[in-house]
A and B are shown apart, each in its own frame.
With several copies, the nearest count.
Chain A
Amino acid sequence: MSITVETAEQHYNDPAVLCCLRQKGTVISASDLEDPAIFPDLEESGLLKLSEDSLTIGQVLGSTLDQDADAMTPLTPKLVSHFAEKKTEESGKITTSLSAAAASGLNNSVIRFSINELKGQIEIPAGFDPSVLPFTIPSAPKLEPEDQIIRTLTQREFDVQEVRIGAETSFQDKVLTIREGLCTESLKADPLVKDAELDIIPPDQRHVYSNTIMDVIPIATKTEGILGEGTTHVMRGAVVILTGVDELGVQVHEFGSCEGYLDEKIRFGRPGSPDPDDIMIRIHVTVQENTGMERRGPFAAHKACDYIIQEIREALKKAPAEACVKEDVYHDYKKTGKPRVVLVKEIMGQGAMHDNVILPTEPAGVKGGRRNVDLGNVPVVLSPNEVRDGGIHALTCIGPATKEVTRHYFREPLVNLMAEDNEINLVGVIFIGSPQVNDEKSYVSARLGALAEALDVEGAIVTTEGFGNNHIDFAENIEQIGRRGIKVVGASYCAYQGQLVVGNKYMDAMIELNKDKDGFENEILADSTLCPSDAKRALLMLKTKMAGVPIEPANRNWSQDVIDANQQFIQ
């Protein structure tokens, strides 16, 4: 098996042995050589005999093969020309500085000027550095290494054209049937859940009243592998909405609720919302009186809802692969040589619904995950594929227009954009909670700074859902990153109602997520959340900042004109 340039560098003083048949005239590169790590085995089995006059890998790189030779042939002075003389003083030393090894390796290449007579002048400017010669290994003409795939996620989408209530939960011929008794059974998910109902809302019958929308949840399930890799089945055309009240009829959250007519209270088509053609499966949960304001109440509602979805997931698992209408393949990459960047998603962490389940077992599920409040809101790294595969289940509830629901994370525009952009290397997505108390905010922000420093990224985008005191951490998170010399862009709803309460000099590149004409939290679900156009603006701004182009100072007050003007750049 041939070796990489890196392996060749590490085995610079080991014998050079051809890995495969090579023809006369071949200019030897790493890809022609066998891995010295397996020589002991090869020698033991008699496949390889090393002789006294074997050349080292360092000597043969760039040399020319003078005759055809078989695999497992050690290269000797008889077989190759233009090899380098051995530098003995280097042997036996463990070289950890790869660039030094690479440089000395290239020194052994040859430019030959056999000049018999020269009339004229050779002028070489000051600064000529003879230790670096402009040669690349011939068989590896690209200096820039290929992106390496770390893991692959396949998402198969299955169309849902009808949803019914029936005797058995099943999914066949684009018809989803949900078992009638399932809701009652879901009460056992948590004793705080006193009632659960389910109804189906087709796209053309949306003018119905609804209690506050606690979440929008995609129906997806693993059929192979764990979250972030393997295969996931996803339903297209149907989505769950979770609503809730307590036994006294109080909306599960007194503030920031969005009860009202569904057609008026949802901005359809946002990453987190139902799409215009989606069938909504509405699950309405009643929790024990007065627990709506406690952490356990809303969470119980999510558990019951997840119980119901799980049975639907089991049916979805059985859907035959060939019935899928769309197959998306997502990769996590290791990209060498591209600027390392990170996406930081600040999420609510102040208790009750201001909380998120991180990494449930099923995509967008509840079970198996842990809540960021229980992780002390410290930063946690997910791979882009883990996020895209439903790694976050949002419990967040307020305010409607600016909250990021579960579906939002499932289709996060910045994650998708940054992961697929081939000018950058998105190394991961950091989720950091926003605690209540300022000291705690500072504590977790400082850990974000230490993490960003260790990640050695050149750029970062920091987003936050909602507004309020989470803007304090938002500012601090940006500062912790920015003062380490990392270029940083922030994205949040601020506008009029959510104007930033603190600021610092690193907040010079901000993306406004507001979509309300007056700059208010307008109580329309997901209206002012991060959309693909916002993501493009944010990434362009980050690239601009990383390229060293100065960002114009922001206006003192929010103005839609700025957004409109910037939006032009990406159209």
Chain B
Amino acid sequence: MDCELTPKLLPGKILEVTDLGVKVTLKGRMGIIQVPLRSVITDKSLQVGQEIRVYLSYIQVV
């Protein structure tokens, strides 16, 4: 099936911060992303509740 995966810039919020990474929930509650600290770009130190944004598309099984 030929389907267009389009990344969308989504706002979200930080749910959890560890020494290793963050867990964020996306606006619209359509997903949760966990990434290592390296993948987070920030001007201030990370805290739960901070607003974030990230590009995400639907997931396609290949």
Answer whether A and B touch in the complex at a CB cut-off of 8 Å: yes
Q: Residues of A with Cβ closer than 8 Å to B? A: 253-258, 292-295, 348, 350-354, 398-401, 434, 436-439, 466-470, 472, 496-497, 499, 501-502, 520-523
For B42, the closest partner residue in chain A by CB is: A437
Q: List 20 interface pairs A-B (beta carbons < 8 Å), by A numbering.
A: A253-B20, A253-B36, A254-B21, A255-B30, A255-B36, A293-B21, A354-B36, A398-B38, A399-B30, A436-B46, A437-B42, A438-B43, A439-B43, A466-B38, A469-B38, A469-B40, A472-B1, A497-B8, A502-B1, A521-B30
Chain A's nearest CB lies how many Å from the CB of B16? 9
Q: Are B34 and A437 in contact (CB under 8 A)?
A: no
Pick the contact of B29: A350, A399, A472, A496 (CB < 8 A).
Answer: A399
Q: Are A354 and B28 in contact (CB under 8 A)?
A: no
A348 to B30, CA, bound (A): 15
User: Which residues of B sit under 8 angstroms from A295, Cβ to Cβ?
Assistant: 19
Chain A's nearest CB lies how many Å from the CB of B24? 13
User: Which residues of B sit under 8 angstroms from A257, Cβ to Cβ?
Assistant: 29
Chain A's nearest CB lies how many Å from the CB of B45? 5
For B36, the closest partner residue in chain A by CB is: A255
User: Which residues of B sit under 8 angstroms from A351, Cβ to Cβ?
Assistant: 19-20, 37
Chain A's nearest CB lies how many Å from the CB of B33? 11
Q: Given known contacts A437-B45, A438-B1, is B19 in contact with A294 (CB within 8 Å)?
A: yes
User: Which residues of A sit under 8 angstroms from B1, Cβ to Cβ?
Assistant: 438, 472, 502
B10 at the interface (CB under 8 A from A): yes
User: Which residues of B sit under 8 angstroms from A523, Cβ to Cβ?
Assistant: 27-29
Chain B's nearest CB lies how many Å from the CB of A73? 46
Q: Are B43 and A353 in contact (CB under 8 A)?
A: no
Of B1, B40, B46, chain A has the most CB atoms within 10 Å of the CB of B1
Q: Are B28 and A497 in contact (CB under 8 A)?
A: yes
Q: Are B36 and A468 in contact (CB under 8 A)?
A: yes
Nearest first, the 3 closest Cβ-Cβ pairs linking A and B are: A521-B28, A468-B38, A352-B19
Q: Are B19 and A469 in contact (CB under 8 A)?
A: no
Q: Are A468 and B58 in contact (CB under 8 A)?
A: yes
Q: Given known contacts A499-B8, A501-B3, A501-B4, is B19 in contact with A254 (CB within 8 Å)?
A: no
Chain A's nearest CB lies how many Å from the CB of B36? 5
For A251, the closest partner residue in chain B by CB is: B29
